[in-house]
């Protein structure tokens, strides 16, 4: 969700709740060039209020994340320390229903006289800014200077009187009654999408909030105005913003079925319709810490996996083109198999063909009705030489077909292997998982295998991902093909249970039970984990399971590829992963 005016209202409410009884600013930190952290002492607790004015993730919220600070603080940080350290937090207010908050502080100047100051937090995407004002709204300092070269509409410079950003020609949703909403929506274009109508008509409302409101009114988030019950929509809209005015908030964290962060909200979210998981957070500090920690972890993994991802995309694209070209050649070779019949026709009709003919009309004695078949000839060759030419073309096509069938099979196996590796790359959760995939590709010859000083890297036994089942059994998961091979044929006991998603790439999952019969919940959890660490989506995913002793290596195949003939299948939902292992730590 964009950090909209509703989210800012929720944060302002939380700040006032924390700082209601004489909270004091103890420290001012600036860990990044566009982030200021105020360490506030309230009651017996210390709170860290983060004001982030970055272009890609601007926000104001309490946080528990500790960041390293630069040795030399920036000038803006020094200015804030001068005015804010030791100051009492009076209140936080929101300017109208805009994404602008005013933090008021009671302080004293160098002479000991009272000197109230304000810190303006403008949370407006790439235009976000932090501005320090005196008691008369004169600008004392600004994080990001805005002069005439940057904007002709509004300048933000030290010494100037602060002005709010230009107002938008939209309605404050907090002031709208059901009757007002109905009069507005009835006059709108009936073919306009509901979420577009809300964002274009009402102030400070993010697209995600608009979609949620439309979903609650119509059961879909892409409904047009003529598909929505206007009376129901008015009740949903007014109820939502009435709760916001009363300070009734529910911090909500949204992930996809794989646990990757999708969204956050200040109220419950439903419009993803089963394609996501939602979690209620204790407060907004917990919400933003979880969301941005997960996102930063994703970005770090993506950066670390960039070279691996590039190699996989290149090789998969190359193999796809190669297989397509080989299949075209195979189709031509299949056509060449008919040349033997033409050679036979010419041989059977040599008596009727003269040298220099370009076409021979031959009787096909084997076909029903003995039809006449026209056979093209090379006029430079004798009739028998033309027949031999067709036999040579047939033999050439036969040889090519045999070679192409083998080559296509090998290329398809290689493509299936790389596809499996790409599944593991998508499922990677730690830098160690990425490094394991990189080591596998080096071993397979897709990447250079060098260590320090150009020496080959020392091979180590991989560390397997581990969970505990409800009955206390260990559940081990391979996060790449080398780990799959190591887990199945080195670590696992012959009596352990082996799980793998049916008919697609995925992790080997071993339930370490040494021949014992686990409970039904143990089976279900193992199958869900196997489905989760694969490309499978949705309910009813088939997972094969059998004892490890039933598995056989595929001779000459890539590591991790096995065959089995005795197995059972379980049907599970990969989306239940969080339900079964959400509280488990990795081993």
Neighbouring C-alpha atoms within 13 Å toward the C-beta of 255: 20
Under a CB-based contact definition with an 8 Å cutoff, are residues 539 and 528 in contact? no
Distance of alpha carbon 363 from alpha carbon 347, whole angstroms: 11
Q: Which two tokens stand for residue 389?
A: 């030419």
Under a CB-based contact definition with an 8 Å cutoff, are residues 540 and 491 in contact? no
Neighbours of 271 (CB within 10 A): 20
Distance of alpha carbon 170 from alpha carbon 164, whole angstroms: 16
Tens of pLDDT along the chain (587 residues)?
Answer: 578 999 999 999 999 999 987 899 999 999 999 999 999 999 889 999 999 999 888 999 999 988 889 889 999 999 999 999 999 999 999 999 999 999 999 987 766 677 899 999 999 988 999 999 999 999 999 999 998 888 888 899 999 999 999 888 899 999 999 999 999 999 999 999 999 999 999 999 999 999 999 999 999 999 999 999 999 999 999 999 999 999 999 999 998 876 778 889 999 998 886 678 788 898 999 999 989 888 887 787 888 889 899 999 999 999 999 999 999 999 988 888 888 888 888 888 888 888 888 999 888 877 788 888 898 999 899 989 999 999 999 999 899 999 999 999 999 989 999 999 998 998 888 888 888 898 889 888 888 765 555 555 566 778 899 999 999 999 999 999 999 999 999 999 999 999 999 999 999 999 999 999 999 999 999 999 999 999 888 889 999 999 999 999 988 888 889 999 999 999 999 988 888 886 444 44
Sequence ranges of the domains in the chain: 5-142, 173-302, 309-424, 465-581
Assigned CATH class of 5-142: mainly beta
Q: Which two tokens stand for residue 561?
A: 């590829």
Nearest-CA neighbor of 300 among 469, 110, 431? 431
Distance of alpha carbon 5 from alpha carbon 204, whole angstroms: 5
Determine if the pTM surpasses 0.95. Answer: no
Distance of alpha carbon 424 from alpha carbon 403, whole angstroms: 32
Q: Which two tokens stand for residue 156?
A: 């933000």
Under a CB-based contact definition with an 8 Å cutoff, are residues 506 and 535 in contact? yes
């Amino acid at each position: 969700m964009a950090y909209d005016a509703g989210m800012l209202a929720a944060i302002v409410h939380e700040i006032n709740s924390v700082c209601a009884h004489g909270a004091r600013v103890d420290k001012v930190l600036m860990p990044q060039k566009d982030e200021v952290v105020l360490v506030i002492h309230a009651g017996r607790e210390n709170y860290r209020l983060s004001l982030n004015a970055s272009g890609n993730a601007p926000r104001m919220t309490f946080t528990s994340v500790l960041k390293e600070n630069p040795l030399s603080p920036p000038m803006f940080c020094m200015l804030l320390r001068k005015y804010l350290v030791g100051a009492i937090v009076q209140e936080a207010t929101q300017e109208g229903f805009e994404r602008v908050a005013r933090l008021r502080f009671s302080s004293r100047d160098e002479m000991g006289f009272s000197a109230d100051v304000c810190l303006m937090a403008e949370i407006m995407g790439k235009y976000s800014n932090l501005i320090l004002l005196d008691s008369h709204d004169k600008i004392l300092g600004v994080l990001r200077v805005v002069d005439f070269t940057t904007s002709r509409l509004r300048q933000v410079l030290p010494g100037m009187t602060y002005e709010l950003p230009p107002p938008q020609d939209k309605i404050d949703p907090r002031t709208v009654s059901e009757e007002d909403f109905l009069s507005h929506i009835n006059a709108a274009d009936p073919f306009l999408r509901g979420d577009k109508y809300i964002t274009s008509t009402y102030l400070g409302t993010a697209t995600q909030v608009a979609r949620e409101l439309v979903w609650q009114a119509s059961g879909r988030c892409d409904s047009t105005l003529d598909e929505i019950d206007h009376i129901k929509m008015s009740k949903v809209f007014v109820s939502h913003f009435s709760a916001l005015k009363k300070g009734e908030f529910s911090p909500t964290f949204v992930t996809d079925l794989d646990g990757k962060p999708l969204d956050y909200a200040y109220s419950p979210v439903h419009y993803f319709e089963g394609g996501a998981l939602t979690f209620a957070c204790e407060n907004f500090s917990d919400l933003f810490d979880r969301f941005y920690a997960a996102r930063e972890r994703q970005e770090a993994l993506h950066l670390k996996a960039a070279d691996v991802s590039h190699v996989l995309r290149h090789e998969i694209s190359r193999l796809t083109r190669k297989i397509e070209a080989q299949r075209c050649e195979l189709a031509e070779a299949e056509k060449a198999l008919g040349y033997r019949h033409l050679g036979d026709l010419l041989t059977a009709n040599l008596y009727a063909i003269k040298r220099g003919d370009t076409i021979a009309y031959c009787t096909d004695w084997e076909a029903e009705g003995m039809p006449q078949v026209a056979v093209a000839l090379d006029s430079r060759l004798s009739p028998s030489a033309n027949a031999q030419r067709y036999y040579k073309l047939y033999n050439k096509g036969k040889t090519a077909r045999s070679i192409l069938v083998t080559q296509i099979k090998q290329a398809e196996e290689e493509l299936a292997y790389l596809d499996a590796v790409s599944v593991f790359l998508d499922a990677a959760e730690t830098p160690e998982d990425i490094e394991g995939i990189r080591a596998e590709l080096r071993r397979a010859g897709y990447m250079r295998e060098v260590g320090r000083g150009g020496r080959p890297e020392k091979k180590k036994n991989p560390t397997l991902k581990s969970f505990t089942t409800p009955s206390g059994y260990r559940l081990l998961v391979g996060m790449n093909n080398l780990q799959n091979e190591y887990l199945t044929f080195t670590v696992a006991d012959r009596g352990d249970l082996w799980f793998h998603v049916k008919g697609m790439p995925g992790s080997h999952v071993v339930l370490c039970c040494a021949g014992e019969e686990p409970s039904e919940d143990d089976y279900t959890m193992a199958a869900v984990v196997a489905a989760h660490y694969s490309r499978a989506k949705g309910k009813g995913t088939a997972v094969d399971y059998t004892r490890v002793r039933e598995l056989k290596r595929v001779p000459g195949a890539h590591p991790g590829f096995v065959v089995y003939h005795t197995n059972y299948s379980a049907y599970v939902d990969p989306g239940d992963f969080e339900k079964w292992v959400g509280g488990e730590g990795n081993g």
